[in-house]
Amino acid sequence: MTIEFDDFMKVDIRAGTITAVDDFPEARKPAWKLTIDFGEQIGVKKSSAQITGLYCKDDLIGRQVMAVVNFPPRQIGPFLSEVLTLGAANEDGHVVLLGLDHNVPNGSRMH
């Protein structure tokens, strides 16, 4: 399936820095509750991420990630996930976060 470039540009993908990681024992699949700072324009947002297979809390604090910031919030059990943190599954099915080789200002849009 192909889409038009203008449709792709409607998806707002931004860089943000993880500032807090909390347990999410109520999740059906193991997940972390992430707090991500996207800078002044977007602010601090929450995300549920099924990344416990490869990442411990200490690995995540201060790490920049990419996330879709313009989807509607999604209720996941008792938690409201405000952004979709992006990743891809490896050969074992564990999610590997999409990240950056170099830091950029929080809120920077993907080009």
User: Which distant-in-sequence residues (6+ apart) come within 8 Å of 86 by Cβ?
Assistant: 13, 65, 66, 67, 68, 97, 98
pLDDT at 78: 95
CATH class as words, domain 12-97: mainly beta
Per-residue pLDDT of the chain (111 residues; tens, 9 = 90+): 899 999 999 999 999 999 999 999 999 999 999 999 999 999 999 999 999 999 999 999 999 999 999 999 999 999 999 999 999 999 999 999 998 999 999 999 998
pLDDT at 5: 93
pLDDT at 111: 86
pLDDT at 23: 96
- The first and second tokens of residue 16, run together, are 């943000």
pLDDT at 86: 98
Q: Where are the alpha helices (DSSP H) in the chain?
A: 5-9, 39-42, 57-60
Radius of gyration of the chain (CA): 14
Annotate 63-102 with b (16+ C-beta within 10 A) or e (fewer). bbbbbebeeeeeebeebebbbbbbbeeeeeeebebeeeee
